[in-house]
Amino acid sequence: MSTGTVCGSHGPPGAPGLLVDAAAARDGGLMTARPFLVTRDGAGDLTHAQTLASRYRTTSRGVRVTEAALVADDVRWLAAQLPLRAESVLSHWSAVGIHGLPLPAGLQTVRPVHVTTPRNVPRPRRRDIVTHHAYLPAGDVCQVGDFRVTTALRTYVDMACLVRFDDLVAIGDRALAMTGATVDELLAVASTRQRFPGRGRALQALGWLDPGAASPRESHLRVLLRRARLPRPEVNALITDAEGGFLAVGDLVFRRQRVIVEYDGAVHAAMEQRAKDAARRAVLREHGWIVVEIVGEDMRYPARVVGRVRNALHQGASR
């Protein structure tokens, strides 16, 4: 199986690890991992009777896969794609997973496979997919490993009607970072379709995107602060001392007020990392920076977060 990626000039660096690499495996002459099509004569080395064994599950008409393999997203995507016409591609939630774009918190569970088909092609009707009929130019389609899928930029556009605004910004941040595309190029992808669900939101969010964001939670924090009409920060910006020596890279930097807002995710909880963070922030404070530390629990109380950052900005501006 190929694990290469063909996504025009804006493809991700590589496909995710695919369980279907085990496609050629055999167990007593029976296929073990790769979904397969069944005809009256059976499938490959299997007779039709063998394809009806209890170890196999029918995902949709004529498609079988082992029950054990079906728990993996990539196997479900491949099973859904297998009987489709070449013009139909995986999209929406499925494309988010294939490209490795951020999923909203709490939605890492199994979801239906989404497929988009051009308007001039009959819509597939199968029980294991959610289908979309939409304008689908060739430039919005790419190959990631074994998957025909909408590009990361087109996926951002498609997701505009399905996720909250801050989650859409997180998807857009990541799509720009992984592809090297510009906001203008993303605007071009959105503008080629005159009408689609979420068009207004997709266009509005373009002005909020920043490929420098290091995590979805940083994107969420930036949206929260901008919605509160605080100044727009620099994202993951370089901090130096008076002689130009390196001090740190700050998550959200308000340079005029000399305020840095840092989001500490789970990786910062380790004792060693906490010690490093404390030492780095002590140095920043010695050089006159105000450092505001935000953790995941803080995000449950957005007004408090905004208040802490606003107070820090006022303090910095008054010095």
CATH number at residue 271: 3.40.960.10
Residues linked to residue 22 through DSSP beta bridges, in sequence order: none
- Number of domains composing the chain: 2
Q: Is residue 148 part of a domain?
A: yes
Does residue 162 sit in the same domain as residue 230?
no
Of 206, 239, 268, the domain-final residue:
206
Q: Is residue 43 part of a domain?
A: no
Q: Is residue 164 part of a domain?
A: yes
> 225 and 214 in contact (C-beta within 8 Å)?
no
Segments forming the whole domain that contains residue 136: 78-206
Report pLDDT digits (tens) over 74-87: 888 998 898 899 99
Q: Is residue 160 part of a domain?
A: yes
Of 146, 174, 206, the domain-final residue:
206
Does residue 179 sit in the same domain as residue 238?
no
- Answer yes or no: is pLDDT of 211 > 90: yes
Of 206, 230, 260, the domain-final residue:
206
Q: Is residue 2 part of a domain?
A: no
Does residue 287 sit in the same domain as residue 179?
no
Report the C-alpha dihedral over residues 209, 210, 213, 217, rounded to 10 degrees.
-20
> For position 197, what pLDDT does the model report?
87
Report pLDDT digits (tens) over 160-206: 999 999 999 999 999 999 999 999 999 999 998 878 889 999 999 99
Does residue 198 sit in the same domain as residue 230?
no
- Answer yes or no: is pLDDT of 26 > 80: no
Q: Is residue 26 part of a domain?
A: no
Report pLDDT digits (tens) over 131-153: 999 999 999 999 999 999 999 99
> 234 and 312 in contact (C-beta within 8 Å)?
no
Does residue 221 sit in the same domain as residue 170?
no
Q: Using alpha carbons, select from 196, 197, 111 the residue that is nearest to residue 161.
A: 197
Does residue 184 sit in the same domain as residue 109?
yes
Does residue 256 sit in the same domain as residue 231?
yes
The whole-angstrom separation of Cα 220 and Cα 58 is: 40
The answer to whether the pTM exceeds 0.85 is no
3-state SS of the chain is CCCCEEECECCCCCCCCCHHHHHHCEECCEECCCCEECECCEECCECHHHHCCCCEEEEECCEEEECCHHHCHHHHHHHHHCCCCCCCEECHHHHHHHHCCCCCCCCCCCCCEEEEEECCCCCCCCCCEEEEEECCCHHHEEEECCEEEECHHHHHHHHHHCCCHHHHHHHHHHHHHHHCCCHHHHHHHHHCCCCCCCHHHHHHHHCCCCCCCCCHHHHHHHHHHHHCCCCCCEEEEEEECCCCCEEEEEEEEECCCCEEEEEECHHHHCHHHHHHHHHHHHHHHHCCCEEEEEEHHHHHCHHHHHHHHHHHHHHHHHC
